[in-house]
Chain A
Amino acid sequence: MIEFILLVNRQGKVRLTRWYTTTSQKERAKITRQIVSQITHRGSKLCNVLEWQDKKIIYRKYASLYFIAGVSGYENELSILEALHHFVESLDKYFGNVCELDLIYNFHKAYFVLDEVFLGGVLLETSANVMEKKLEAQERMMDAAKAGLIDS
């Protein structure tokens, strides 16, 4: 399963993290630091899988951002890569040409997208269209709730 998903930029600034296992705050920071320092040094043509301790680190770079999944146990590496790509496409569709600034100022929305794509480290929805509809519906509910129109 996917143990964690990280989104960091080239300078190592964390833009989004989700941990699906019990890990202390300190441990998370340590792991993040170690992984980022390894990945940012790798050339673009290299293989996107890195064996690290007892895990596999599977990552992909989009512009200045690295999308990273830490995987343990048996997983199809190529499928995980595809899932990461699917997540990026979902972000792109939701924000409309997503860029790093979108993710900085609207990080909570990026999390909403993430939680529709992955649940508990498992891929949840593979259709971008289905997801868009569900996110929109929730957005409307948020707005309505903020306006005090409906409760629940």
Chain B
Amino acid sequence: MSTRLRELIRKVRQCKTAAEERAVVAKESAYLRDAFKREDAGGRHRNIAKLMYLHMLGYPTHFGQMECLKLIARPSFAEKRIGYLGLMSLLDEKQEVLMLVTNSIQQDLKGKNQYSIGLALCALGNLCSAEMARDLVVDVKRIMRSSTIYLKKKAAICAVRLSQKAPELVRDFMDEALSLLDERSHGVLLGAVTLAVELCRLDPTLVDEFRDKLVNLIKMLKHLTTSSGSGYGSSGDHHVRGVPDPFLQVQILHLLRLLGVGSPGASDRMSDVLAQVASSTDASKNAGCAVLYECACTILEIQSTGGLKVLAVNILGKLLGHRDNNMRYVALDALVKVVRIDASAVQRHKGAILAALADGSDASTRSKAIELAFELVTAKNVEDFVAEVFNLLDDDDPQFKAKLVDKICGAVEAHAPTPTWHIATITKVLVSAGRHVSEASLRSFLAFLTRQPPSVQEVAVRHLADLFLDKSGAPPRSPQLLLCVLWCVGEFGALLPDGADQVGILAAALEGQEGAEIAEVGLTALAKVGARSGAQDRQRARDVISRFNSSVDLELQARSCEFGKLFDHKRLMPEVLEAIPPLEDQQEEAAAGVPEAAPAVPVEADPMGDLLGDLGTSGGPVAAPAAAGDLLGDLLGGGGEPTATAVTPSSNPLDDLLNL
């Protein structure tokens, strides 16, 4: 028995559980299938409406598609309207049914009734495929030339869609597109300008032809800004809270932008009207801001004069200071583009940008602000700037924190005035937000240290060692900070004051560390410290290393056993465990680029291999610089990476050693 749509909706809404709802829907679906099979022509439009409702609830409705087609072919407007509506909701252009629709749409496009034609245009615009576009282009062009405003505007927008789907049709629409720009009705003009923008975008060579209409466009925009819109359609009707047709203004400004880019003449001719829009539009409401924003974007992209550009940046500054977050968002978005061309103009709005950055409530504006803010960093202001953003590291949002840390590290690296400041700042970051320091940032910091003179390295290692000697304010020990301390003591520990207990620091840092990555670096550091210490410290280092002899981690176990053996060869140790040579940036990057997934190879294989190879050939340089580059990669990369040197024959003696 047939129920009315209203009843169906009510029934579904009365369901208390999902199971109840499914039962109601299943029953109705069964009824609808049956009705479609029975060819129940009378109830067809009601059935399609019900089907749309089920579709909206997320239930399968594919069985009704053919019914929509049958409805569309009916002469009655009521059935046609529901049929088209069902079609637009239930179909997408992938389905074969679409091929069958083309014919019906064409019939309706050729019809007499403007509303039937309107429905067909609407369906065409929403469902259009490339094939449909080619089949129906003639009909759409004909309607664009018709005398009915209602149809002209719909056809213009259909043309936008047709040319998107089948770009080869772009030129076909040129005559109609140009003549529609002479219209007076706002609705048609909006469609015409939108079409012009789209055609220029799809085929930039058409811009020249549209430039002929520049005078019209400028006149149109002038009318919109100065008068209440008289002369272009009914006045007042298109106002949005006091702003004359902001939608049309925005589209015209967009088109002007496309026409002005690359043409000094066109840019010059439109500069007056742009200045006028910029100065006379009310910025208190969203509609006015939309126009101002578009205007600023146009000024910044065309070849405008310096004065006009300043005006545009000022508009964006004004939007930036708006209390509505949406204005701030678009202003930040636009300024990101400006800052790359002219950073000094944006520099004046630094305060507002930092305020947006500090405002943690809105992730959208914040992500824009962080991008923009760090574009403003120069060697001159980097110290103040970093100090200002430093307190933001206390933020709760981990994603933001990671991004901020990354940006700070990048800015410090690029603009640090002195190495000491560089070290102090990065250490501070490691202490307060170490967990968020990326591997790449840490690598480049350590590579930076290797390139410094011993005096600077001394500062760094002292600074880091102090963090562990100072028990009073035990800092949160992030893995990144530990890694950094271990590595620096291992490499530069010799620069610490005489009394410093290097092995003690390392042992303390390794205390309770489960992570293999940190322990791996720690073992190497211990071996290096052991190699250059007296007998007592060497034994202590060896004891700490031997704790890992029974580690469950294969890599750690192998390493600790290998180092243990190495400790028996006192004469060789200092040579094998020499300090790392200065690392170039690129080298370090290349090491970072080595893919991680690889069979585990003992990391220390290279120096050991070299060692034993050297043993055979007696003497010679130990640890070539290239291998040292890999060493750092290995130290920080954790998982063993097969390197060129690891597979050289010289690794065979290593195996012999371990099989002793």
Contact = CB atoms under 8 A, between A and B. Distances in A.
B77 A145 contact: yes
A16 to B, nearest CB: 7
B122 A127 contact: no
A63 interface: no
B237 A119 contact: no
Contacts of A121: 161
B361 A46 contact: yes
Interface string B324-346: 01111110010000000000000
Given A119-B121, A120-B125, A122-B194, A78 B330 contact: yes
A107 B191 contact: no
Given A120-B160, A123-B190, A127-B187, A43 B76 contact: no
A47 B326 contact: yes
A111 to B, nearest CB: 6
Contacts of B364: 46-47, 49-51
A47 B186 contact: no
Nearest to B82: A108
A121 to B, nearest CB: 8
A124 interface: yes
Interface in A98-141: 104-105, 107-108, 111-112, 115, 119-130, 134, 137-138, 141
B191 A124 contact: yes
Nearest to B58: A29
A152 B77 contact: yes
A78 B293 contact: yes
Given A104-B9, A112-B85, A115-B122, A120 B290 contact: no
Nearest to B292: A78
B76 A151 contact: yes
A20 interface: yes
Interface of B: 6, 9, 13, 49, 52-53, 56-58, 60, 75-79, 81-82, 85, 88-89, 92-94, 111-113, 115-116, 118, 121-122, 125-126, 128, 150, 153-154, 157-158, 160-161, 164, 186-187, 190-191, 194, 234, 237-238, 240, 245-248, 250, 254, 286-287, 289-290, 293-294, 325-330, 333, 361-362, 364-365, 367
26 contacts: A14-B57, A20-B126, A24-B94, A29-B58, A43-B361, A45-B325, A46-B362, A47-B364, A49-B326, A49-B364, A76-B330, A78-B287, A78-B290, A78-B327, A82-B246, A108-B49, A115-B122, A119-B125, A119-B158, A122-B194, A126-B190, A126-B248, A130-B187, A137-B115, A152-B77, A152-B112
The 10 closest A-B pairs by CB, nearest first: A78-B290, A120-B125, A47-B325, A145-B78, A120-B161, A79-B290, A119-B125, A47-B329, A47-B364, A145-B76
Interface of A: 1, 14-20, 22-25, 29, 43, 45-51, 76-79, 81-83, 85-86, 104-105, 107-108, 111-112, 115, 119-130, 134, 137-138, 141-142, 144-146, 150-152
